[in-house]
Structure 1
Amino acid sequence: MRKKDLCFFITVLLLLINVTSLSAEEHAIELGGEDGWDNFSTEKNIQKCLGRYGYESICIASASLTPSKTTDMFLSFENGTISDITDNYNVVFSSLTVNKSSIMGGYSALSRGTQKGLKLKGNENSIFGKKGVVGSFSIAFWLNPSLAENGETVLSWQSSRNINYEPLYQMIAGAFYNNKFEWTFTNVFSSPEGCESDITLTSSNMVVPSSWSYHVLNFDEETGLLEYYINGRLENLTYVTSSGTQEGVVYQAVLGVPATIEICPQFTGYIDDFSIQKTLIEPKVHQPMYYPDGGSFETNILGPFTTNSEITNVQSISTIPEQTDIQLFVRGAENCFGWTDETPEWIPVNDGVLSKSVVGTYFQLGARFYTDGQSKKTPLLTSVTILYNEKDPPLPPFSVFGESGNGSAKISWLSSVDESTDGYLLYYGTSPGEYLGRSAIEGNSPVDVEDAIEYVLTGLTNGKIYYFAISSYTITDSNSRIEGVLSKEIWVRPQRNKP
């Protein structure tokens, strides 16, 4: 065997050995993690929070109050701000500090003892911004006291109203006494005849320091029933009526001169989701901390990748408390147009393994979050890594040959050593490297010759040089074509057989 032929044989053999490893290369897309999460195409009941390694993670959104037309005040402390979401109250003074030690959402407010807390002034649309009959109302908040000592005050409102041209002192207060929480209403409730009633409503159980509890106070203008709940359990009630029972004449809440309302004027601890409603709140024994229906998201469409790329595995870093879960889904297609909720089909991922093959040029990730039975816990998703194979395009023919004819050129080549090759494209043109030919009877450049290894182009001009190159292609499962690079260029000059 000649030395030149031996070298050629060895080269072809090495290509054959490596063709399998070259046919597909694994890549990875990481979502979340150190770089955080981008915006989603759709999302429902989710929020960003701190997760594993201190990275930004996704969890179920807290079941915070959603303000409505009956919401008089709502302090959520989200986004690191202290303001009334309803815009019914303006902050006059605040010594509260926004803190991430929250129970609902990402933030709560920290009060440090005798620093006067938060003062708000209501407008004419608010309960405490005008005088007159209040109607039904509720006051609700989450509380985490550092202390539960006498005088620790969470709410205070002081004003006066004129009765027969005489000023009458009024007060509403919510404070701790003997480790219990006590509501006081002084000259607030009035009978139709103008008789005033002082009300004190004390919790039956002690409030435990350094733990969160949910407090709800309801007054029903129809029945006169004043109820106090902690964590959905009734602590105390009274009928604000002429007889002190449900049979008496109802005393209505009547406020005098508008005055500021103070939140945590003398309180040490955390407060979250403070609200006042112009209606009653339904207390729940198992007050949900997260949306009971869970949450979900879909990422923006990812890509483009090489045609016919295939997802091989989906890995995630997450925190899954007991009874909670996260279900991941992926889907893919060769184009990114016309995607709906149903198509392309969402494929579940279980322990990183896809239940069905996902192939395409574009991918999308979806996730469904499930809370526990009492909606007290949420799973956290820190990052997702999608592993996928990009199929390398097939190798071109190693050698190409040309033979001139009368108005024609016969081009032949050695088959590609790449086993994934399904066919060939024959490029031609009249300038080197520019294969823009249009004169051949067989068609414009490139001509699909399918799996042939020689082909004759006719209708060419005798005496004119034409340049040729061959590429290999693979047909994918979706009937699209992956084309490889061009072979080495050759030239042929068609000519007559006789002068």
Structure 2
Amino acid sequence: MKTRDVLLNQIVRIVFLTAVWAILPLPLSASEVSIGRSAGWASLCLLSRTTLRVPSGSGETVIGGNRISFEEKSQQVLMLDEDSYRPDTNTDLLLHFDRRNEVNGGLYRLMEDGAHYPRTERKFGPGAALFRKMENEIALMPEASSLLYPDTLWSDFTIEFWLRPQYLEQGETILLWQSSRQIEKALAAQEIQVYVSGRSLTWRFDNIFLPPGNGPFSIEIEGRTPLVPEQWHHHSLCFNAKTGMLLYQVDGKDEAVRYITATGQEGSSVFLPYIGGPEAEPLRLGTGYTGFLDELRISKTLIETSHLKPYPLKSGTAETIPIDLGGKHARVVSIETDSSIEGMSRIGYFYRQSNTKSDYEELEGAWKPFVPGTPFPVESKGRFLQLRFELFPDSTGSKSPMLSEVHILYEQDPPPVPPSLINVVPEDGSLTISWNAVSAHDLSGYLLLYGTAPDDYRGSSAHEGISPINVGKNTSITLTGLENGTLYFFRIAAFDNDDPQRPGPLSREVYGRPTQNNTQGRP
């Protein structure tokens, strides 16, 4: 029974000391905080022109020249947001093809989306539409005020898209719209078609442009440069309603030009596009085509310069929320990063540190630059740390830097050491405990732990309070209401002025026994 009692008593003491140090934690001399990868990006705020991206879908896709697996969320990287088209007042139709059943802007209602979105290939954004010959197509119904709505006279317009054909077979159709209008008291077919002919694209307009007298009129404009399968190219057709110029460009370079005028030359009367028909007819994409299609835009304006590079020639920024380092005197030792820098792209790193933060999760003060992997200034201290990242593309807008992970190594200000000289003086029903003052610049006071067994400081009989007792900056205290003849055991810890307070390690144990004959207590 004695062995069992001793074991139970030891267990009780261990549990009690564990509970005490839950209140009085012992700090580590160095700590680390990570952002990104397995730690995630929850502390990051995207401010402008930046994004967190994981290549989407099964398999892999190319981002900035590197292949990254989609399957693990820990593979997210911070990078520049791509310069994708955004809808504006001139947008007639905008399709990013990032996911199924989505129209990103314009005046069309989606009727059918039979395309595939494997996200194993794209030009902008996380995905592109994949068509497989006759198996699928996308159909969109024009609504009021759209260019393809009945009884609509056009002015300037631009049709553009990115194309990555698989085969370039003769007659593959990328875009098709068919309707009718009245010509000389009879209905005649109207058609807009973009199709493959001789390994290049042909744009055909049947009875779209309105000549004087409202007669029949058809025109084709063809590319001169043969296309290569499995390569992305940007195709753009724009019309200038003032001059009648119809310009076809591939990758920003002129392929063909026609003048839709009475003479076929600049300077004569212009034929404007007109949509007739008794009712709206759908615009169809990918009919009989095999390959990828991305970033299709129809605009009610003349666009002669399109976005051909993925990134704007501007920087993008992201900031962390204030990171709590646990104490007012915490010091950053160094910050290391894992990044991928290609070409002339780069990342600028900045920080600020403070003991207070605003209600908007911001720190005050100017941003200071730092170089990853180098020591931080010794004088830079504070409980909260905030980081800012500024990302710059390369000189052509083709490459973005990528930030995968950030490691912050920091030290908390060590708490005060415990007193080394402790004396216990017994009195009748009381004990006076005194100790040497601790030298610490941020000392706030001392905690006295007491109890009636070694390493068991659950004392509660003293009139001054239950253990542990906060004695402030005093270096002595007399505990009254104690039982004569009973041994009492003590330890002392100093604590600093951090918020929350951080006690240091415990002193060595001392003991004393209240008695009427004033026997000195001994360490």
TM-score by length of 2: 0.76
**2:300 partner letter:** K
SS at match of 1:37: coil
- Tell me if 1:448 matches 2:473: yes
Tell me, yes or no, if the aligned pair for 2:334 and 2:372 is still in contact at 8 Å.
no
Residue 396 of structure 1 corresponds to 418
Tell me, yes or no, if the aligned pair for 2:416 and 2:443 is still in contact at 8 Å.
no
Tell me, yes or no, if the aligned pair for 1:111 and 1:264 is still in contact at 8 Å.
yes
CA distance in 1, matches of 2:46, 2:497: 34
- Tell me if 1:49 matches 2:54: yes
**2:44 partner letter:** F
Shift of 1:415: 5.7
Residue 331 of structure 2 corresponds to 310
* Alpha-carbon distance change, 161 to 490 in structure 1, aligned in 2, over 3 angstroms: farther
Residue 134 of structure 2 corresponds to 114
- Tell me if 1:273 matches 2:277: no
Once the two structures are superposed, residues 247-274 of structure 1 have per-residue CA deviations (whole angstroms, 9 ceiling, x without a partner) of 1111110012221111111211111111
Task: Map 1:307-386 onto structure 2 (within 5 A).
Answer: 307-337=328-358, 343-353=364-374, 356-357=377-378, 358-386=380-408
Of 250, 256, 263, 2:276 maps to: 256
Residue 61 of structure 1 corresponds to 81
Tell me, yes or no, if the aligned pair for 2:249 and 2:256 is still in contact at 8 Å.
yes
SS at match of 1:34: helix
Residue 111 of structure 2 corresponds to 92
Structural RMSD (CA): 3.7
**2:318 partner letter:** F
Residue 435 of structure 2 corresponds to 413
CA distance in 1, matches of 2:43, 2:30: 26
* Alpha-carbon distance change, 356 to 70 in structure 1, aligned in 2, over 3 angstroms: farther
Tell me, yes or no, if the aligned pair for 1:307 and 1:482 is still in contact at 8 Å.
no
* Alpha-carbon distance change, 305 to 461 in structure 1, aligned in 2, over 3 angstroms: closer
- Tell me if 1:186 matches 2:206: yes
Residue 229 of structure 1 corresponds to 249
**1:323 partner letter:** M
Residue 154 of structure 1 corresponds to 174
Tell me, yes or no, if the aligned pair for 2:449 and 2:492 is still in contact at 8 Å.
no
Once the two structures are superposed, residues 346-405 of structure 1 have per-residue CA deviations (whole angstroms, 9 ceiling, x without a partner) of 332324225545422222222111111110111222222222223342232245324589
Structure 2 gaps of 5+ residues are 1-25, 56-65, 70-74, 451-457, 519-523
**2:374 partner letter:** V
- Tell me if 1:81 matches 2:100: yes
Aligned residues: 458
**1:219 partner letter:** F
SS at match of 1:323: coil
**1:448 partner letter:** K
Tell me, yes or no, if the aligned pair for 1:424 and 1:471 is still in contact at 8 Å.
no
Shift of 1:427: 5.4
Once the two structures are superposed, residues 131-186 of structure 1 have per-residue CA deviations (whole angstroms, 9 ceiling, x without a partner) of 32122211111111122232121111111101243001111111121112111111
Residue 33 of structure 1 corresponds to 37
Shift of 1:24: 5.5
The 10-residue stretch of structure 1 (167-176 or 41-50) with the greater mean CA deviation from structure 2: 41-50
Residue 204 of structure 1 corresponds to 224
Of 289, 294, 313, 1:292 maps to: 313
CA distance in 1, matches of 2:463, 2:106: 68
SS at match of 2:287: strand
Structure 1 gaps of 5+ residues are 1-21, 439-443
SS at match of 2:105: coil
CA distance in 2, matches of 1:117, 1:43: 37
The 10-residue stretch of structure 1 (98-107 or 195-204) with the greater mean CA deviation from structure 2: 195-204
* Alpha-carbon distance change, 492 to 65 in structure 1, aligned in 2, over 3 angstroms: farther
Once the two structures are superposed, residues 300-328 of structure 1 have per-residue CA deviations (whole angstroms, 9 ceiling, x without a partner) of 22225234222222222222111111223
Tell me, yes or no, if the aligned pair for 1:425 and 1:470 is still in contact at 8 Å.
no
CA distance in 1, matches of 2:444, 2:421: 13
SS at match of 1:204: coil
**1:350 partner letter:** V
- Tell me if 1:131 matches 2:151: yes
SS at match of 1:58: strand
Shift of 1:492: 11
* Alpha-carbon distance change, 46 to 68 in structure 1, aligned in 2, over 3 angstroms: same
CA distance in 2, matches of 1:436, 1:236: 99
**1:124 partner letter:** A
Percentage of pairs with the same residue: 25
More strand by share: 1
Residue 193 of structure 2 corresponds to 173
SS at match of 2:148: helix
Residue 18 of structure 1 corresponds to none
Shift of 1:129: 3.1
